[in-house]
Structure formats: C-alpha cells, structure tokens
Amino acid sequence: MNARPVKHSVTLRGHRTSVSLEDEFWNEFRAIAAEKNMPINVLVAEIDVARGVDMGLASAIRLYVLQTLKDRLP
C-alpha cells in the first residue's frame, strides 16, 4: 500500500493535467470507470463539472470514489 499520493495524467477540456491520488483511490477510480464503460477522462470531466470552484479535483475524485463505494453497501 502506498499512502503517498502519486501523480496521474488526465486530459481535461482538451488539456493534459495531473491529479495526485493514492494508489488505492486511483485503482478504484479506474475500476469504476471500467464498470461504467467510460474512458477515465470522460469520468474526470463529469466530476470536474460537478465539483464547483471550492474543491480541488483530487478531493472531488476521492469523494466520488467514496460515495460510489458507499452506494454499493446494503
């Protein structure tokens, strides 16, 4: 387990950017995108639009992953 965030490159609005996420969050995020049959950049763009200006993209992705996992609980 790597507790330190790692930079991952994504394309957002036609520009390359990076988001720093822990491996566990990134791996789960990729799995969620695959389950939705969506390219990861499309899912990042959806989260980016929904997050507003008061939250960083990495935080928004972490919260998205957390909420998705919570929604799966019985």
Which tens digit of pLDDT belongs to each residue from 38-73?
A: 999 999 999 999 998 899 999 999 999 999 999 999
Asked if residue 37 is part of any domain, the answer here is yes
- Cα separation, 18 vs 29, in Å, equals 15
pLDDT value at position 2?
Answer: 60
* Beta-ladder partners of 11: 16
When divided into structural domains, the chain yields a total of: 1
- Domain enclosing residue 61, as ranges: 6-72
pTM of the model: 0.92
Q: Residue 64: exposed, middle, or buried by beta-carbon count in 10 A (0-12, 13-18, 19+)?
A: buried
List beta partners, residue 16. 11
Confidence of residue 3 (pLDDT cuts 50, 70, 90): confident
The verdict on residue 1 lying in a domain is no
